[in-house]
Chain A
Amino acid sequence: MPLESLPSDLVSFDDQDGAVHLKVDDGLYPLEAVYAAAYVFIDRCYVLLDKPASGQTRVTLSAKKGTLAGDAARELVGEFSNELLSCAWRSQIARENRATIEAVTAQALSGARGAPSLEELEAFDFSDDAFEDPLGIAMSWEEKYAKKKGDPKATAPTPNDEAATSSVTKPEAGK
């Protein structure tokens, strides 16, 4: 069903599943912006992405707890859209201003860290990985370090969790 004052061809609400769907035009929003916005919401919602047609991404958001009613769904998808716009614009700005951002960040960090001691130089890891994305620009910190709740590792239920109490058949996953 449509949600009040939101375009019904782009946003729809499934009240049975308690999920809200948003269609995103890939030409307007790059995938990295969709990922970045999705990540901001995974501590609050279950987020599923799909491609219903070429040039389009569909984002499905459903509440982690309780059911998602009309007003809450409208608010949620509205906030997601704002975040998506913000992420799309930010990734463009980051590309355009990359030199300035890197210069300021490098100066700030080197000014704060100071020169390494001899022991630190000795212990330094010169392997390739240590230099990958040194400013963490390619990958957002939230993606990497995450708000605790949003971290996929942190959200994975442990065997003591409620979900783990079910009698389960071990799947043959990961093939």
Chain B
Amino acid sequence: MDMRRRQFLVSSAVIVGGVLLGTTMADLIAPAEGESFDGSPDGRFPNIVLHGHDGGAYRFYDDLIRDKIVLINMFFTGCGDICPLSTQHLVQAQEMLGDRVGRDIFMYSITLNPELDTEPVIRDYAETYGVGPGWLFLRASRDDTELLRRALGFVDPDPALDADLETHIGVVKFGNDAIGRWGACPSFADAEEIVAGVRTLDPIKRT
């Protein structure tokens, strides 16, 4: 596409308050390759192996993050009020995002307690909450979980709080690896706020 046409199309996609005018989600595509990620270095994700509630094994970066729009939260099945609340709100968010989940948007809930949250346990958990396709509950080794937790910023500067698993379950990161854009919001926020966050990850560009 020549520059002039591209600029015309870009300027015709006006977005106000997160709502697209004169274009639809389907018009949006990922941006062209070969543009640099100014100030957001590559390779910050440990490429550890995680196991999903579906029985699959996944490399964190290669299989779960690369070129995808993702939501990532940490949880454990034994947690008190917040994980059930977060999971319910994320289920609603999944419904609101419709068939994009599993197509270009993927959701990951990673257990902080891999010893207790075995594959059958997280499978039951996913079924209990009625999660749809495109959303994986995942477990890794204890060491890898710790590494991943830190890499994703689920940490607390207070060592006592950092050691408490419940400290790390209240935030969902959302990101688009293809354009290096990441944000976060509370995982137990209203689904509409979570979805508003995810919508900020769409590159504003038309074919």
Please determine whether chains A and B interact with each other in the same assembly: no
Q: Show the binding face of A for B, using Cβ within 8 Å.
A: none
